[in-house]
């Protein structure tokens, strides 16, 4: 498996960890090639460090791909599974679809964008036998933008650790977490969680929504790895600084879920969105856009709320207002938990193994 950043702070790392450890537990030999890696890791998968050139985005993308290509040609692996900007692989999982994301935001497709260059080479590779997407939305977009045959695209949604993310954590953590965040019990705490790129995840649109329809009890709690100071300044300039809390990335995010009342993920384009699924497993109602793959698992109004688009500012404000009703939160939270329980990592690992076996059968035949 190939991934540049294996740091457990994003959905890509979570998918690789959960699937690879399960495959290793079944007796398969799993190797992970990455540039950034955790200090400790579960027994089973073997980690390999690959250096990159620290000279900007283009250099990092090019050097990591070159290093992977070199090692994959030398290694004797039955299956090579890419998870990022790489071209030498048998199967790739589309975690970040830059072409579709730029189109969703109305931005130009620059011929000088290194990520777009890699995407074109990735999907046009002769070696590539299967494409795994996390949602039907991305499957359609991969077919439309790159002409990949539909029978070569397999949809495998992400799973969720329903033991780690559980409504039962509330009694143990809710009071403490809210006290540490400076929240009273009657305030409405809605999480916004992202490992980075807050613009892509629609944070400024969320600010506009909070500004448009003031909800006196609402507090937006922002957690993530992006630089927080510019957004803190922007919130102050918009006059909503007192309604926004900023926290750094939290390794034990499940405890923050226990102290929250809901989660909003108004992304412009998300291949899946594991953050909302984890919140659902925690028994929280979630607000997502229709351009998030996880929305395919949600029934609008039953176990979550689906926004038409990230820039639907008024619709976002109405959805946030709906969460003020404790009965609505309780009803949606219970349904959200039931939905999350149907999406396990064991199922994701089994479907991934079926893809590997199909590739080997075609190769041997």
The model's pLDDT over 205-240, given as tens digits with 9 standing for 90+, comes to 999 999 998 898 999 999 987 688 899 999 999 999
Same domain, 99 and 175: no
Examine residue 6 and state whether it is found in any structural domain, yes or no. Answer: no
Same domain, 128 and 17: yes
- State the DSSP code for 239: T
Provide the pLDDT for residue 285: 97
Predicted confidence (pLDDT) at residue 252 exceeds the cutoff of 90: no
Q: Which domain holds residue 155?
A: 11-159+345-364
Q: Verify that 280 and 302 share a domain, yes or no.
A: yes
Q: Number of folded domains in the chain?
A: 2
CATH code, 110: 3.40.50.2000
Least confident range of 152-161, 210-219, 300-309, 319-328? 210-219
Burial of residue 229 (number of CB atoms within 10 Å: 0-12, 13-18, 19+): exposed
Q: Is residue 3 part of a domain?
A: no
**Residue in the block written with tokens 């102290």:** 259
**Across the chain, what does the average pLDDT equal?**
93
**CA-based nearest residue to 243, from 203, 223, 215:** 215
Do 120 and 28 share a structural domain? yes
**Looking at the structure, do residues 333 and 356 belong to the same domain, yes or no?**
no
**Residues 149 and 252 reside in one and the same domain:** no
Ramachandran angles phi, psi of 83, nearest 5°: -125, 5
Specify whether 80 is located in the same domain as 153.
Answer: yes
Is the pLDDT at 41 greater than 80? The verdict is: no
Q: Cα separation of 118 and 132, whole Å?
A: 17
For residue 343, what pLDDT is reported?
A: 95
**Taking residues 248-265, what's their average pLDDT?**
91
- Does position 8 have pLDDT exceeding 90, yes or no? no
Q: Mention every residue, 6+ apart, whose C-beta is less than 8 A from residue 66.
A: none
- Give the model's confidence band at 91: pLDDT under 50 very low, under 70 low, under 90 confident, else very high: very high
Give the pair of three-digit tokens for residue 350: 């089994």
Provide φ and ψ at 122, rounded to 5°: -60, -50
Residue 362 has pLDDT above 90, yes or no: yes
Q: Say yes or no: 22 and 145 in one domain.
A: yes
Residues 313 and 186 in one domain: yes
| 5 assigned to some structural domain | no
How many CA atoms, within 13 angstroms, populate the side-chain half-sphere of residue 171?
A: 1
Separation of alpha carbons 95 and 90, rounded Å: 16
Of the candidates 266, 290, 270, 294, which has an alpha carbon nearest to the alpha carbon of residue 280? 294
């Amino acid at each position: 498996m190939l991934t540049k950043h294996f740091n457990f702070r994003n959905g890509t790392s979570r998918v690789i960890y959960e699937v690879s450890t399960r495959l290793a537990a079944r007796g398969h030999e799993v190797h992970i090639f990455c540039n950034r890696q955790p200090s400790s890791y579960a027994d089973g998968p073997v980690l390999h460090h690959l250096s990159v050139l620290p000279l900007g985005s283009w250099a990092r993308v090019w050097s990591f791909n070159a290093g992977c290509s070199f090692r994959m040609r030398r290694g004797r692996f039955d299956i090579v599974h890419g998870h990022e900007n790489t071209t030498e692989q048998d199967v790739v999982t589309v975690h970040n679809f830059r072409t579709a994301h730029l189109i969703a935001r109305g931005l130009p497709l620059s011929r000088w964008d290194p990520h777009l260059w890699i995407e074109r080479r990735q999907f046009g590779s002769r070696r590539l036998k299967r494409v795994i997407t996390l949602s039907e939305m991305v499957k359609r977009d991969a077919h439309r933008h790159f002409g990949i045959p539909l029978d070569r695209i397999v949809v495998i949604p992400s799973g969720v650790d329903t033991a780690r993310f559980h409504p039962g954590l509330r009694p143990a953590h809710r009071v403490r977490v809210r006290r540490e965040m400076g929240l009273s019990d009657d305030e409405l705490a809605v999480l916004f969680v992202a490992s980075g790129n807050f613009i892509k995840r629609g944070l400024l649109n969320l600010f506009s929504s909070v500004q448009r329809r003031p909800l006196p009890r609402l507090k937006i709690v922002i957690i993530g790895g992006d630089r927080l100071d510019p957004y803190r300044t922007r919130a102050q300039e918009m006059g909503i600084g007192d309604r926004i809390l900023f926290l750094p990335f939290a390794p034990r995010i499940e405890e923050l879920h226990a102290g929250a009342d809901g989660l909003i993920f108004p992304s412009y384009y998300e291949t899946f969105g594991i953050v909302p699924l984890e919140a659902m497993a925690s028994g929280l109602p979630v607000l997502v856009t229709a351009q998030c793959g996880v929305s395919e698992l949600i029934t609008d109004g039953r176990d979550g709320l689906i926004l038409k688009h990230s820039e639907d500012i008024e619709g976002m404000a109405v959805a946030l207002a709906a969460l003020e009703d404790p009965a609505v939160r309780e009803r949606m939270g219970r349904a959200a938990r039931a939905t999350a329980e149907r999406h396990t990592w064991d199922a994701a690992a089994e479907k991934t193994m079926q893809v590997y076996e199909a590739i080997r059968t075609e190769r041997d035949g």
